[in-house]
Structure 1
Amino acid sequence: MMNYNTLIFDLDGTLLNSLDDLADSVNYALEKLNFPIRSKEEICSYIGNGIEKLIELSLPDKTSYDKFAECLFIFKRYYSKNLRNKTKPYDGIIELLDYLKENKYKTAIVSNKFQDGVTELNDHYFSEYIQVAIGKSPERRKKPYPDTVLKAMNDLDSSKDKCLYIGDSEVDFKTAKNANIDFVGVSWGFRDKNVLEDLGADYIINAPNDLISILGCK
């Protein structure tokens, strides 16, 4: 049987705990427009489908499109300058990436975050480990469509039977299934472990180094 040699990671909630910076930026934009702020728990539940959906869900029902567009603009401008204030890799992530690099695994990031944000965060935190980092752009459909995962596989010269997609959310699960690759759900992210169990994740891990036991077991 083939062994996995390619690991494609979601970013927010999987490699990076970015919740505080996202929540701060959402509430900054909401306050600027005199809308009620949201709790961190609410914002956490809205993350996963890109910043447009994050802002849409954070705004009150029946908010006009003009106010949505203004809020999105304020959020993106503020967040782009403050996306590394509190964000950091989850405990054990750097050690896992060290192991993958030493053992010559192919790695990539695929995220619904805007491309400039993905590039900056990857360059700052993971540049020595991950060379392929794909975010939202006009060139391809965002997750849960498989386009970005398939692009990463192509860039890494890999194949579906050797690839795992690692993420924390329903969107990540659907993306892996749409790409016809196996999915590893991480329980430390923005969704509870029971969500991953209900989805039917191929694997669920509770700490980054748990991934190592999956590699080669296919």
Structure 2
Amino acid sequence: MDGTLLDTLDDLAGSANYALRQHGYPQRSLAEVRRFLGNGIKMLMQHCGPAQLTKAEAADLLNTFRQHYLEHSMDATRPYPGILPLLDALQQRGVSMAIISNKLQPAVTELNAHFFSAYITTAVGESPTVRRKPNPDAVLAALTELGCAREEALYIGDSEVDIQTARNAEMACAAVTWGFRDRDELERLQPNFLIDEPTQLLELALPCADR
């Protein structure tokens, strides 16, 4: 979701810096927050906060971020250019789609309902019962729900976590370059496909039955 379908950087950085200010810690730049994204909000705030925080201090910082972000997750967030036409074209071709995210489940549910509900009904986020990527459990469960074998599926993401998730799920992976990692970094990780424009995904995506 983040860095692939939606440009969420401004809202995530805004909530991170709000939490840092509230607790009297130095703020982070957009570039720093971008680099810290991909492993869920707990890791994000561990990187954003000062080193050597106590467990209680880290938990307080995380809770402040969580509360603020759930109220402000759509202030500046928008789909990347070309994403909505891509989803429409994929739907017309009969391609089934799901979202697997390390975002909090309430935010995933809200953002999917607001932006993508016409195209995507399966949207899984971080929760106490779902292990975060790169664990493949949520991906495999989504494939089961969609009725698609992993050999027929394509995992699309924007980070090293996504590429590792695809490998753990034994799936082909397309890494997009418009998200939270630079192209040369993604290239070094050797995904199956490197995607610079959303329209390139149309060349790769077919309904499961047609693969």
TM-score tier after normalising by the smaller chain length: over 0.9
Equivalent of residue 182 in structure 1, options 165, 172, 175: 172
For 2:175, the aligned partner's letter is G
Q: What's 1:46 paired with?
A: 36
**Higher relative contact order (Cα pairs below 8 Å, separated by 6+ residues):** 1
Distance in 2 between the 1:24 and 1:36 partners?
Answer: 13
Q: What's 1:6 paired with?
A: none
Aligned length: 208
Q: What's 1:76 paired with?
A: 66
Distance in 1 between the 2:199 and 2:147 partners?
Answer: 25
Q: Secondary structure at the match of 2:97?
A: strand
Q: Deviating runs (4+, > 4 A) in structure 1?
A: none
Flag structure 1 segments of 5+ consecutive residues without an equivalent.
1-10
Q: What's 1:13 paired with?
A: 3
Equivalent of residue 139 in structure 1, options 111, 129, 134: 129
Q: What's 2:103 paired with?
A: 113
Structure 1 residue 201 and structure 2 residue 185: aligned?
Answer: no
Distance in 2 between the 1:176 and 1:132 partners?
Answer: 18
Q: Secondary structure at the match of 1:152?
A: helix
Shift of 1:139: 1.7
| CA-based RMSD | 1.1
Q: Deviations over 1:72-108 (max 9, x none)?
A: 1110100000000000000000000000111110000
Distance in 2 between the 1:181 and 1:100 partners?
Answer: 19
Q: Secondary structure at the match of 1:66?
A: helix
TM (norm. structure 1) is: 0.93
Equivalent pair of 2:154/2:205 in contact (CA under 8 Å): no
Shift of 1:49: 0.5
Q: What's 1:128 paired with?
A: 118
For 1:31, the aligned partner's letter is R
TM (norm. structure 2) is: 0.96
Q: What's 2:80 paired with?
A: 90
Q: Secondary structure at the match of 1:172?
A: helix
Equivalent of residue 56 in structure 2, options 60, 66, 80: 66
For 2:161, the aligned partner's letter is V
For 1:113, the aligned partner's letter is K
Structure 1 residue 28 and structure 2 residue 21: aligned?
Answer: no
Shift of 1:213: 1.4
Identity %: 44
Distance in 2 between the 1:114 and 1:184 partners?
Answer: 23
